[in-house]
Chain A
Amino acid sequence: MELFAQFLANGLVSGTFYALSALGLTLVFGLMRLVNFAHGDLYMVGGLLGWAATSRLGLGFFSALALVILVLAAAGWLIDRFCIARLRDQGEEPGILFTIGLSIFLANTALLVVGSTPHQVPAPVPNEPLLLGPVVVTKARLFAVAVCAATITLAHLMIQNTRLGKAMRATFQDPLAARLAGINTDRIYASTFALGAALAGTAGMLLGSIYVAQATIGGLVSLKAFVVVILGGMGSFAGAILGGLLLGVAESLWGGYVSTGTVDIIGFLLVILILLVRPYGLFSRRAERA
């Protein structure tokens, strides 16, 4: 029984991390119907930037995080305004192809600039283990979970309560109507992509303090994020959280009781299953439109 408790705890922790990693993607996926293959690489840039800011510029964790958010939001805005905007009425493939190219570019430029060495972002909280009953967890992980929760809540509040957030939701529901209501949808799209990038970068830096920040990790992060988004439904915050937790716990239980080597399979099997049964994810309420 105590093994199960540990597996569950592991799953909930890694699930929260998955949720944050996927949040930016689900926003972009949901609002812009853009399959952003560069999402994992934006995460990677956030992680490496966070490492550079803390170890080279000597910034504290949170100041570095603020820097990462600013830089990635700006980059996201520019990418959308100057590149993705041109591709918007051409269907999905140009977007996919563009982000694949962007992904290759980002990963290899990072490799050129920083090299292939794995790095770690120093966490503001030590890595000591903490015993909660029979379950072991570290202080650093709890801290990261807390930051994830805070970030998700902040993002949610932003989307619900600010003008920008309301404009985003309106554009999500019906772009034409939003434009008729006077919303500058181009700016909304750019802001959404910027927000998605900033969230990806935040996850990258935060998780770079638990795991690693390295130029080559983007691809795997993207794949896992896709799984979470599909499980939870595009554009749904609650979906991203629950999708992330579901993936984390499923992987943990599969790895614990079946086989650790094939753990990645469970995510994809879940995707296939979900898409057969509830094609729009567990939480999406969209219907097909002619």
Chain B
Amino acid sequence: MKRIEGRALLAFVAAGALFALAVGDEYLLHLCVLVMVYAILATSLNLIIGYVGEFPLGHVAFFGIGAYAAALLSVKAGYPAWATLPAAAFLAAIAGFGIGAITLRLQGPFFVIVTLAFAEVLRLIAGNWVSFTNGPMGIAGIPHPAIIDLGGFFSGKRGYALLGLTLAAVSLFAAYRFVYSNAGRAAVTIRENRYVAQSVGIQPWRYALFAFVIAASMAGLAGAFYAHYLSFVGPEVFGFSFTASMIIMVLLGGKGTLTGPVIGAVAVTVLEEYLRETKELRLTLFGLAVMGVVLFAPTGVVGALHRRLARGG
């Protein structure tokens, strides 16, 4: 399992690199950048859903914190991207520690709603604290990472795609190491049965918090990268549309697997963009698609693949 997943992830990174270097169409490169952002975000969400077993509906809070951190640090304090990205991840990790410490005491629907409450509070603060965050006007003019100025291969969207790919590779590697470490195995035990885990000496709370903090910092990294790409950040980075997209990606691809979120990220980004062809029906069809997947393919793509392989196909 470990080998297959590891190889699949490497394959994804290689494919991504090939795509970014070979493709010239700006629109496709734009989609590639989005896929990278979402791959990191979905992987981070999956750490909690799939490996801790709880459903953090407010996970987008860390994405937003990372985005605003990068925006504020670069626009108001003048830091360059190579400093804001890690700083944003760090700040998101701290927030993860704080929020996790409070919320991980709860389970089930209560955890779901309280994390959502945190995300909403942050959204409202971002939208109202005009002197700090510029309120609904948002922060514009976020500078692009210096690497884009190197020219040649790194100019334009391709530079962003390659940078995004690098960040995604780092995140996937971190997730891989976490899952196949003692901490990861402990987390899975907790997910399967909390009480049994406690009986063998695993303290659920510590491992859950550890996973939560890692997930938060990853989401923050994605947010910071997104801010530099879009050059504009507003309170909608805490909004429900990102939440809905992330959840759908993790569940469509297959939770509890490392490759699932990545597949989900690719599938949903492509689906969202190509559904544009259907104009007004777009979101209606999207809702139907989500319901369909849940009803007929609940373990997602990867789950379906596993079953096929297990059957000896």
Contact = CB atoms under 8 A, between A and B. Distances in A.
Contact of B287 (A33, A83, A106, A268): A106
B247 A271 contact: no
| Central interface residue in A97, A109, A234, by most chain B CB within 10 Å | A97
B294 A272 contact: no
A27 interface: no
Contact of A83 (B102, B106, B121, B291): B291
A94 B298 contact: yes
A172 B105 CA distance: 24
B113 interface: yes
Interface string B288-304: 11110011001000000
B55 A92 contact: yes
A276 interface: yes
Contact of B109 (A33, A223, A227, A262): A33
Contact of A100 (B109, B120, B282, B290): B290
A78 interface: no
Contacts of A94: 251, 294, 298
B106 A275 contact: yes
Interface in A58-117: 83, 86-87, 90, 92-94, 96-98, 100-109, 112
Contacts of A290: 195
Chain A interface residue bracket vs B: 35 or more
B110 A279 contact: yes
B291 A279 contact: no
B248 A262 contact: no
Contacts of A87: 294-295, 298
Given A83-B291, A105-B287, A262-B124, 20 more contacts: A35-B109, A90-B298, A92-B108, A97-B251, A98-B295, A100-B244, A103-B287, A104-B287, A105-B288, A108-B283, A108-B284, A109-B284, A227-B117, A230-B113, A259-B128, A265-B121, A269-B121, A275-B113, A279-B106, A280-B110
A7 interface: no
A112 B255 CA distance: 33
A271 B287 contact: no
19 contacts: A29-B109, A94-B298, A97-B294, A98-B295, A101-B291, A101-B294, A103-B287, A105-B290, A106-B287, A107-B283, A108-B283, A223-B116, A223-B120, A226-B113, A230-B110, A265-B121, A271-B114, A272-B114, A276-B105
Nearest to A268: B117
Contacts of B103: 275
Contact of B112 (A35, A86, A279, A280): A35
A165 interface: no
A261 interface: yes
B280 A112 contact: yes
B248 A272 contact: no
Given A35-B113, A112-B284, A262-B128, A98 B294 contact: yes
A82 to B, nearest CB: 9
Contacts of A264: 120, 124
Contacts of B105: 276, 279
A219 interface: yes
A29 B108 CA distance: 11
Interface string B137-154: 000000000000000000
| Central interface residue in A101, A265, A271, by most chain B CB within 10 Å | A101
Interface of A: 29, 33, 35, 83, 86-87, 90, 92-94, 96-98, 100-109, 112, 219, 223, 226-227, 230, 234, 259, 261-262, 264-265, 268-269, 271-272, 275-276, 279-280, 290
A87 B290 CA distance: 14
Contacts of B55: 92-93, 96
B117 A101 contact: no
B242 interface: no
Contacts of A276: 102, 105
Given A33-B109, A105-B291, A93 B49 contact: yes
Contacts of B282: 108
B247 A97 contact: yes
Contacts of B108: 33, 92
A269 to B, nearest CB: 7
B291 A102 contact: yes
Contacts of A279: 105-106, 110
Interface string B263-289: 000000000000000001111101111
Contacts of B109: 29, 33, 35, 92, 234
A90 B298 CA distance: 9
A272 B281 contact: no
A93 B49 CA distance: 9
A275 B195 contact: no
